[in-house]
Structure 1
Amino acid sequence: MNQRLWTPLRHRAARLPDPEDYLRGLRRHPGPAPDNILAFARRRARALWPGPGHDSLHHRWVLIAALQGSGTLRVDRRPARITPGRLWLIPPLHLHGFEKVQDPLCWVFITFDWPGHSPVGHGAREHSRIDASAAKALDQLLQEIGRPDANGSICAARLHGLLLRHRESPADPPAESASLIARVRTHVQDNAGRGLRDLARRMGMSESHLRARFRAEAGLSLGRYLRESRLRWAALGLKDQGWSVKEAAARAGYPDPFSFSRAFKRAMGFPPSQLR
């Protein structure tokens, strides 16, 4: 018997208290855990994607842990300062990009799927402080995910714990009003099959004025944004909600699964059936 291995375990076992109730123990959080987790670090501003002046739009959650270096994060074109010691959570389908980032840099990016969590009105804090508890949770996650034999279930539990700490942090003051991009994104979720005329009516403006305002605020055409966000919303439904391709096509406003599949593959690079 390897005494170096077993002696610490015996000491730890000896310190375990007897349960007060042999039928009630620790419970896991009831919500679904993150899945399909990737983690990587960026140490130079030039390594960030997308580059300065550009925005990304995709269907994965992004958690950024700023450990060194500062910069500006744009979420739906709204700028916010990233400083060391902060966590930032970006939900899917939110335009985001970076600018004025200063080297040297150490930002950890953790991207993941999170079944059962809506990217609209998800209720999580946008950013929080990395306190001692969050730092320990992040360290445990990075230790596990950096192992050659990393266990996905353990990584999911570690990340879930970090997200819960982030969510339970003190709330930020509420925004005075939702941006035009946020209002359009909510419309895509709730009324995916409706056309531009209905969207303009709901926004209380003409189609031409809505197009012009959206381009000025978002930096891209309303048509492109609607098309790509609907397809990415459909990707979330296919992957997380178990939609069929036919159902995803109808929810995204396409007349049939064939035209939907062609548009989906052009935008995503793979067919929708790959997510089933």
Structure 2
Amino acid sequence: MVRGMPRSMAPKPGRMDGNAVPSLRLIGRIGQPSCGPPRHGHTVWEVVFYTSGNGAIEVGDQVCPIAPGTLLCLPPSIPHVERCPGGYTNYFLHIEGLHRGHVGTAPVPAFITAPDGALAHLLAALHQEFQLRSPGWQEETAAVLAGLLVHLRRRLAMGGHPAVGRLKQLLSDHLDQPSIHVGTLMAAAGLARDHLRRLFLAETGRTPARWIAEKRMEQAHRLLITGSYRVAEVAEMVGYPDPYHFSRVFRRVVGRPPSTVRTPLPT
């Protein structure tokens, strides 16, 4: 684990004002499950991406859920501490010249994504480049960091509570699994069930159960319009072993029986 490095080894920082060009002071990785250090803070923004672990992080008076795929932007000089009983793994970046214009106005800017997706690969490449320091590493690091910040800005601009994003990801990952219970997925998202349900409803206009039903029916519609599958086959593919139950849900959500579907849904 890397928690410190001589400043002479880091890329030269930009000016610490609104026109500064962000530069990487440090990127480290906790590769084995750890409960982390005691409460602490930093003089620059810290961006943390959790690749495993479930719990919460206290940032000043804010409490944010932690789950695989959670990214948090921790403001300078605000003490924080992780509370993950089983430990966690992550990447952490200390970035000079970062400011609110890059990450938005939320007290603790955050979002959630796939823990092993594009963002994880980008951070792994950045970490490797920073550690190996091959010829041209500073230019490569600056370029990768610039791409990373564009990605963060776009994702953070989408807004939304990270626990809602986490639940959406969990629901999407289990569209074809009829045995999974929505309540089980809600419990894994990191917030009390009733509170999460209210947040989800406020953000999407739908309950989690309605949301996953609509996503399943959208997927079913895409399969049906190909003309390659029978209704019973599509029902099974989207998590409904009982084709009659599937037909009732499909008609309620889409407005017509699945047997009549041959044209795309209107956009």
Shorter chain as normaliser: what TM range? 0.3 to 0.5
Normalised TM-score (structure 2): 0.44
Normalised TM-score (structure 1): 0.43
